[in-house]
Amino acid sequence: METLKTRLKECRLEAGISQEELARRARLKNQSIIGALESGSRKTSSYIPAIAVALGVESLWLAEGRGQKRRDGGEPETVDLEFHSDLFPVKRYNVVASCGIAGCAIEFHEAEKELPIFFRRDWIARGGYKPENLAALKVTGNSMEPNLWDGDLVVINRADVTPKNGAVFAANHEGECIIKRLRRGAERWQLESDNPDKCRHPAEPCTERTILIGRVVYKQSEVI
C-alpha cells in the first residue's frame, strides 16, 4: 500500500529536486522534516499543505492518498508561496518587552533569518482574523508544559487583548514577554503556568504593569 513517504519521495523525484530544494521551495527551515517524512519516522506534518503546493500536488492526496493527484494532471510547477492566492505567510518575530518610569512597552522585531508559517486564507477568514494582526512567536522555557514546549511556535492575534478566563495570552508582565494562561482569581486576574510544578511556576497576579499583547490562536509543535 502506498504511504505518505512513498508519495512524497515519488513526487520529489518526479520534480527532479533534492530534499534541500524542496525544503527551500516549501519555506522550511531545513530539510530534516522532508527527510523524516520520507523515511517514515514522521507520519504527518503541519507543513504538508506547503509541501504539496511546492510539488504541485493536492495536499489531501499527498497526506492521505485520497482524491486526485494534480488538479490539471500536469507536471509540477515551481510555486511562489509568498504570493500564492490560497496561502498567507505569518511572519515570525522576536519580542522585546520593557517596563519603566515612562510606562510599559513592547517591540516586535521581524526574525529575518526565520521562515514564516503559511496558512490557508480560508482558515484566517474562519477565525475572523486580520492578517496584519497575526504574529508567530517562539516559546521559551518549560512553564507551559505539557501544552506548550520549549521551541514550539505559537501564533498570536494582536487584535484580541480582551481578558478571557482560561485563554492563553502573550503578555508584557513587569517588563518580560511571557506566554501564560489567564485566570480570573478571587480579586484580580492572574497569569498561570500549565506546568504542574506550582512551586517553580506559581501563579502571578496581574498588575498595572501587565499588558496583554495578543491571544494565542495556533500552536505548532513537534513534541507528540
Among residues 48, 83, 118, which one ends one of the domains? 83
| Average pLDDT of the residues of the chain | 89
Where a domain ends, among 83, 114, 138? 83
Q: Provide the residue range defining the domain that includes 147.
A: 87-220
Confidence of residue 103 (pLDDT cuts 50, 70, 90): confident
Residues 47-64 have a mean pLDDT of: 90
For residue 80, pLDDT beyond 70 = no
197: Cβ–Cβ under 8 A, 6 or more apart, which residues? Answer: none
Q: How many residues does the chain have?
A: 224
pLDDT at 207 over 80: yes
24 and 53 both lie in a single domain: yes
Whether residues 29 and 112 share a domain: the answer is no
173 and 127: one domain?
Answer: yes
Is 70 found in the same domain as 101?
no
Same domain, 9 and 52: yes
| Choice between 145 and 2, residue whose per-residue pLDDT is larger | 145
17 and 122 both lie in a single domain: no
Task: Based on the fold, state whether residues 195 and 208 are members of the same structural domain.
Answer: yes
**Contacts for 59-63: CB closer than 8 Å, 24+ residues apart:** 61/7, 62/4, 62/7, 62/8, 62/11, 63/4
Q: Are residues 92 and 169 in the same domain?
A: yes
The CATH number covering residue 174 comes to: 2.10.109.10
Domain match, 216 and 116 both: yes
Q: Are 31 and 22 in contact (CB under 8 A)?
A: yes
Boundary residue ending a domain (53, 68, 83): 83
Looking up residue 71, the CATH number of its domain turns out to be: 1.10.260.40
- Number of domains, the chain: 2
* DSSP string of 97-132, one letter each residue: EEEETTEEEEEEEE-TTSPPEEEEHHHHHHHT--GG
